Structure 1
Amino acid sequence: MSNSEKGLLLQIINGDADAFAEVYELYKDRIFAFAFTLTKSKEIAEEATQEVFVKLWERRNQIDANYPLTPYIKKITYNYIISFFRKVKLDRQLQQNLYSNMEALRNTNEDELLQKELNKLYQQAIEQLPQQKRTAYMLSREQHLSYEEIALQMGISKNTVRNHMTEAIQFIRNYITNHTDLACLILAFCLHKQGS
Structure 2
Amino acid sequence: MISYVTLSDNDLVAYLKDGDKAAFTEIYNRYKGLLYIHAYNRLRNQQEADDVVHELFTSLWTKRGELVLRTQLSGYLYQAIKNRIIDIYSHKKVESTYIVSLQQFINQSEAVTDHLVRENELTALIEKEIGALTPKMRVVFELSRKANLSHKQIAAKLELSEMTVKKHVNNALKILRSKLGLLTCLLYIGHH
Q: TM-score range by the shorter chain?
A: 0.3 to 0.5
Which of the two has higher C-alpha Rg? 2
Normalised by the length of structure 2, the TM-score is: 0.47
